[in-house]
Amino acid sequence: MYKKQGLYDPVHEHDACGVGFVANVNGARTHEIVQDGITILKNLVHRGAVGGDQKTGDGAGILIQLPHLFFQKEAIRSKISLPVPGSYGVGMLFMPQDKVAREDLSKEVEKAIAEEGGKMLGWRDVPICPECLGEMAREILPFIRQVFVTFDGLEGDDLERKLYITRKVIEHRSENKGFSIEDFYICSFSSKTIVYKGMFVAPQFEEFYPDVKDTDFRSAIALVHQRYSTNTFPSWPLAQPFRYLAHNGEINTLRGNVNKMKAREATLHSKLYGDETKKLLPIINPGLSDSAIFDNGFELLANSGRSIEHSVMMMVPEAFGAKYHISQDKRAFYEFHAAVMEPWDGPAALAFTDGVKVGATLDRNGLRPARYVVTKSGKVVMASEV
């Protein structure tokens, strides 16, 4: 967790960036969608920021569906036996460069998975090309590893929830060991999606991660983000997308949102989690950026039996007063949820996905730009600008 340093206080962290996605409406997974996502990323490069060395970016990344064909091929090389798609999860981890600390954390990850009833399938060190990075990015470059895990009898949403719990348990273990998110961070831990991101400018992305150039690296959805951190520092963990979304804007009500989420933790309950609910606490990590904190809240709702569109409408409601021309049913929906959760307000454009559906929304005043088009070939393209 971050500590105050002089005039810097992490509670004031915000960011304003470029965001977008591309998806095949028919759900077909292709390498072309990944390439299109990278093209969007490059076209949004002017919406990001670059450091004094002119090569270190505030951050860029992509969130896609788990590329099973690619991982199956890589697993054979690493002598890992992968089960059928949807029955295993992959964690994308930023770990320390120090070998002793990394091995210590790797053991903690393995212990947590075993304690939660999971089975380790193996590790994969992600190939990277750090030569393309700026000096500042290289100085704090993490060691990037992937972990493959399965839970007997679990698949689909049940497996996704178990991976969510396991990730929170791993995070608690690393905190207890004294590691901050700059030392150890889990970019994604899912059976449906994976996040490739880092502290670079968009054109460096595909050069840094050779994985994304492989023709078996396929997805029907590619959600991308180019970061411009207005009130925070560049950081590998705080690059976007996060585990469910990419965010362009600011959450102006953040302190209240965090406090209210913390206050309701004592009464949180779900039949889907039972006694394991306590393993999820605290829901929010206050040391993160406003976008990452929003993602913390969003993943709780999305993993608790609600659809992603339901979850985002709870957190970012549109204006629903009596003078607004919306249906009675929709107004009733917003009025009911206003008693369940306060709005996360501020100028924002959000793109979000659970690996099955993808969507986007604006704040109630539409203060951040977002445009979309549906092509004749059956693609949906959304971005911060045309």
Q: Is the CB of residue 354 less than 8 Å from the CB of residue 193?
A: yes
Give the CA count within 13 Å in the CB-facing half-sphere of 266. 3
Gap between the Cα atoms of 328 and 334, Å rounded: 10
State the distance between the two ends of the chain, measured CA to CA, in whole angstroms: 38
Catalytic residues: 17
Gap between the Cα atoms of 104 and 3, Å rounded: 24
Q: Is the CB of residue 190 less than 8 Å from the CB of residue 90?
A: yes
Q: Is the CB of residue 384 less than 8 Å from the CB of residue 48?
A: no
Beta bridge partners of 229: none
Gap between the Cα atoms of 254 and 9, Å rounded: 14
Give the CA count within 13 Å in the CB-facing half-sphere of 221. 22
Residue 125 burial (CB < 10 Å; 0-12/13-18/19+)? exposed
